[in-house]
Chain A
Amino acid sequence: MTAATGIGARVLRTEDKRFLTGTGRYVDDLPLARATYAYFLRSPHAHAKIKKLDISAAAKMSGVVNIFTGKDLVDAKVGGLICGWVVKDKHGEPHKAPPHPVMAVDTVRYVGDTVAMVVANSYDEAKDAAEAIKVDYDVQPANIDLAKSFDKGAPQVHPEAPGNLIYDWEIGVKADVEAAFAKAAHVTKLDLINNRLIPNAMEPRAAAAEYDKGTGNYTLWSTSQNPHVLRLILSAFVLGIPEHKLRVVAPDVGGGFGSKIFCYADETMVCWAASRVGRPIKWTAERSESFQTDCHGRDHVTHAELALDKDGKFLALKVETIANMGAYLSTFSTAVPTYLYATLLAGQYTTPLIYANVKAALTHTAPVDAYRGAGRPEATFVVESIVSKAAAEMKIDPAELRRKNFIPSTAFPYQTPVALQYDSGNYPPIIDEAMKMADYKGFEARRAEAKSRGKLRGIGFSSYIEACGLAPSQVVGSLGAGVGQWESAQIKFNPTGNVQVMTGAHSHGQSHETTFAQIIHDKLGVPMDQIEIVHGDTATTPFGMGSYGSRSLAVGGSAIVKATEKIIAKGKKVAAHLMEAAVADVEFENGTFKVTGTDKNVPLAQVVFAAYVPHNYPLAEVEPGMDENAFYDPANFVYPAGTQICELEIDPDTGTTEIVNFTAIDDFGNIINPMIVEGQVHGGIVQGVGQALMEGAVYDKSTGQLISGSYMDYTMPRADNFPSFKLGYKVTPCPHNPLGVKGCGEAGAIASPAAVMNAVHNALAPVGVKHVEMPATPLNVWQSIKGAQRQAAE
């Protein structure tokens, strides 16, 4: 191992060369001979009965190969799409599980619901034919307004879920929390909306499939974050193709952020239809289709109350949330606003009592599921907003109030009142460092200077914690998860000494080909250019759970470490034989086996060669070959934590907000590659700021049309919306995984909305504004100022 490329080094990425020279291979890039092209006809209505669906004219159009409708799937006994996490409600009953047909049969339930699939010789011909499909819709009233979903008379989405209620779930003991509130010196109340987001990975979702008549094997290429999970769902629940007859490949994938975890109708159809069409099928979403059909994120309506004693110590927190599920339950939808949300409501604090009640609602909108952070940004937003509000109300410095309530570093492992046991952390030095870097002391002077220019300057904190590295299988299993959440690795040396490492994780921007190789290099001493990380293909990689929930390194990386240990253990036996020493006397360092206390040594490459050409080899005791598998199931979640400070200026004349300073100090445990970690944080911050200031999925409240259905109306963060960020680290290694790492993929997005909104509120307080919802667009901010002025005038 050299310091320049091992664990902790800033190693440039292996994957970059192909991406920078235009030689990456994304699904849409695949050259498939004799390919056909699919176009999906989507519902233009939020809620309608399909009275008649006539494909006869379309079927006769030029280039059309085949047209499939929901009825064809019923006839072929294709199963519905599934929700993989059973959440039990407060009475112990499993959540309501309305059917989710792959394509609509008699009812459409959101704008974008899939109605028919046209397969043609070209994409344009498929689209031409889709326009000729005649659908007679009987339009029904739609339930769009989340807050009104449970009202009497609200349009019903599924008969299986009366009152649009999927579950009424709770955690904590309500009576204890109420008792603490009764004794509180101060109660801070907060109503907020966590705005609905559209993920917008820059590569639109895509799928391609091919069926081999001779072997009966299917190959599905999909823009998936977890090809094995997709295969499992398609095989076991939806299509019934045996797992060994279905190969799922997720090649280069252009970002996911959660939206490419799930099993979708379109990729299912492409796979299913491939054998019926008898030619390969390709499909790539148009961006407007992505807007309508990718699973959306967030979308909560929440009321929260925090009880404090007279010194500002938190006594109890209670939270009521309505979470939007959309029209159907997507793959992990039920877990997001419960186990990934309410369990994080302790934040970094010693709040002794917490009660949360979450009601999941159906609406006639696109399904809602995990999006970068999944539940944890929503929790952090509640906690960090109410803490800052309490500080303002009690006239305590927001940093001071946080410090007062931090879990002390001596208290770890720390059991929160909401199920999680935090393994490690040290929060005060993080906020100190952030305040120093952000020059918190100098803020009031900067505020005054801004005022002289007519600007309102504000500063906001967000001290987040997240539980990631999903997940200890038995814990999540006891909570209703349908799968285990371990990860796998296979280290396969070739006879010439280079090595291929197969991982069940998947990289769609996270840089596994580099960081995983750094681990191998560090542990085994193999030069970086002799290491290949293989991922994304069920045919070549061991079963694994894919990448989401900042799990790749903490769980997948740990599996790799375990596999390196097996390689070393086996190698020692071979080396002992080659050096004519006792196994116990052999040690391994920097890629070389040595006999302790002597200068006898044999490099790993030579041991590998001997294992494949076992002429001089302990065949009686050791199998030939150098190929080891490992599975790693984490003992606990990992708990990254940090503090962000956002400083911004608002132009009160226009309502425009400009971020002028953004600081983030994180504890991600040990860091494998700081360059890559920083990149993850940058991207996360921008997505979080996007949520706070720009992004919002807007459906027309009466028709259910998606108004923010393209980049013309959905505000994407752009380069000129940001300054450069200031980042820093504090390290408390994770005590329970072999690398000591925590996850870094979601932190930026989890913390930043609260940092920004606290700064917005801080800036607007002097003009009397009490509350601004996200996104704090210029319009929204201007209206808030105007409202405060009106109120002051009355």
Chain B
Amino acid sequence: MSISVAMTVNGKAVSGKVEARTLLVQFLREHLGMTGTHVGCDTSQCGACVVDVDGKSVKSCTILAVQAEGSKVITIEGLAESPDKLHPMQEAFRENHALQCGFCTPGMVMSAIDMVKRHNYQLDEATVRRELEGNLCRCTGYHNIVKAILAAAPAMKSAGV
């Protein structure tokens, strides 16, 4: 069954024809060629696919493209203001070496931003670790990811993002 979908991705109106079974992540990757959002599992557990839909952090591998009809979607590609001006969370990941192979990174960064906002820019280490339950990383041992998120929270606050 072929269905038309239209949504806003990173501020740009996009549309396409999908099957009912097309997942949002497939729509992003295969239809729009936005391959920054990754797929790391088939049981909705790894978080490599996390994006923001209408202000909520979601796993784009567990939502149909048609369910995002009319939504505002933000992906890893939509965070940096310009190639030279990264989002404070991206900057903190770089500063703190919170990524190695980079595969989990898009989902990590998206989850991290959501976490900081939900906690009103105030986080402690235990909270960060607990909030990362849905994001697996096999490279970093999480140590530097936690550090980066703790560093980004005040930076996001002062940058007003």
Interface residues of A (CB under 8 A from B): 12-13, 15-26, 28-29, 31, 124, 200-204, 252-255, 257, 284, 286-288, 508-511, 675-676, 678-687, 710-712, 716-720, 722, 724-725, 748
Contacts and interface: CB of A to CB of B under 8 A. Distances in A.
Contact of B101 (A25, A201, A286, A684): A201
Contact of B35 (A22, A687, A710): A22
Given A201-B138, A683-B139, A720 B101 contact: no
Contacts of A18: 102
B94 interface: yes
A203 B100 CA distance: 12
Given A255-B101, A679-B100, A687-B138, A203 B43 contact: no
A287 B146 CA distance: 26
Nearest to A682: B141
Nearest to A673: B97
29 contacts: A12-B97, A13-B94, A16-B99, A17-B83, A18-B102, A20-B86, A21-B83, A21-B86, A22-B36, A22-B106, A26-B35, A26-B103, A28-B29, A202-B103, A204-B40, A254-B103, A257-B138, A676-B97, A678-B97, A679-B97, A682-B142, A712-B45, A716-B136, A718-B133, A719-B129, A720-B130, A720-B132, A722-B143, A725-B143
B101 A202 contact: yes
Interface stretch (B52-60, B63-71, B72-80, B152-160): B72-80
A203 B133 contact: no
Contact of B43 (A15, A681, A712): A712
Closest 9 CB pairs of A and B: A22-B36, A254-B103, A19-B102, A682-B141, A509-B101, A509-B100, A686-B141, A29-B35, A22-B76
Interface string B34-57: 111111111101101000000000
A600 B102 CA distance: 47
A717 B133 CA distance: 10
Contacts of A203: 38, 40, 101, 103
A753 B130 CA distance: 24
Most buried by A among B21, B77, B105, B132: B105
Contacts of B116: none
A158 to B, nearest CB: 32
A84 to B, nearest CB: 25
Contacts of B130: 719-720
B131 to A, nearest CB: 8
B15 interface: no
Given A13-B94, A202-B101, A724 B143 contact: yes
Most buried by A among B29, B33, B45: B45
A576 B146 CA distance: 53
Contacts of B86: 17, 20-21
Contacts of B102: 15-16, 18-20, 24, 252, 254, 509
A288 B147 CA distance: 31
Contacts of B123: none
Contacts of B48: 202
A200 B45 CA distance: 13
Interface in B75-121: 75-77, 79-80, 83, 86, 90, 93-95, 97, 99-106, 109
Contact of A683 (B36, B80, B133, B141): B141
A123 B50 CA distance: 22
B149 to A, nearest CB: 10
Contacts of B76: 20-22
Given A21-B79, A22-B37, A724-B125, A711 B101 contact: no
B78 to A, nearest CB: 9
Most buried by A among B36, B126, B136, B142: B142
A29 B37 CA distance: 10
A385 B133 CA distance: 32
Given A202-B138, A204-B40, A720-B133, 14 more contacts: A20-B94, A21-B36, A21-B80, A28-B35, A201-B103, A254-B104, A510-B100, A680-B100, A682-B144, A711-B45, A711-B46, A719-B133, A724-B125, A724-B143
B101 A254 contact: yes
B24 interface: no
A511 B40 contact: no
Nearest to A507: B101
B142 A686 contact: yes
A504 B161 CA distance: 42
Contacts of A681: 141
Nearest to B28: A22
B137 A202 contact: yes
A511 B100 contact: yes
A510 B97 CA distance: 11
A255 B146 CA distance: 20
Contacts of B29: 28-29
Contacts of B45: 711-712
A683 B100 contact: yes
B18 interface: no
B90 to A, nearest CB: 4
Contacts of A252: 101-102
A551 to B, nearest CB: 17
Most buried by B among A23, A203, A712, A719: A719
A21 B97 contact: no
Contact of B139 (A12, A17, A29, A255): A255
Contacts of B75: 22
A22 B77 contact: yes
Contacts of B133: 718-720
B79 A16 contact: no
Nearest to A680: B100
A675 B140 CA distance: 12
A585 B84 CA distance: 44
A288 B101 contact: no
Contacts of B140: 679, 682-683
Contacts of A678: 97, 144
Given A23-B77, A720-B132, A725-B141, A508 B101 contact: yes
A16 B36 CA distance: 13
A229 B34 CA distance: 31
Most buried by B among A28, A511, A682: A682
A373 to B, nearest CB: 14
A678 B80 CA distance: 27
B129 to A, nearest CB: 4
Contacts of B146: 719, 724
B36 to A, nearest CB: 2
Nearest to A372: B138
Interface in B9-23: 21
Contacts of B142: 682, 686, 717-719, 722
A679 B144 CA distance: 7
Contacts of A508: 101
B119 to A, nearest CB: 15
Nearest to A287: B41
A559 B94 CA distance: 28
B97 A13 contact: yes
A16 B94 contact: yes
B42 A287 contact: yes
Contact of B34 (A22, A679, A711, A718): A22
A16 B93 contact: yes
B103 to A, nearest CB: 3
Nearest to A23: B36
A183 B134 CA distance: 56
Most buried by A among B41, B45, B99: B41
Contact of A124 (B21, B125, B136): B21
A554 to B, nearest CB: 19
A287 B39 CA distance: 9
B128 interface: yes
Nearest to B84: A17
A202 B100 contact: no
Contacts of B125: 724
A200 to B, nearest CB: 6
A510 B139 CA distance: 9
A36 to B, nearest CB: 14
Contacts of B80: 20-21
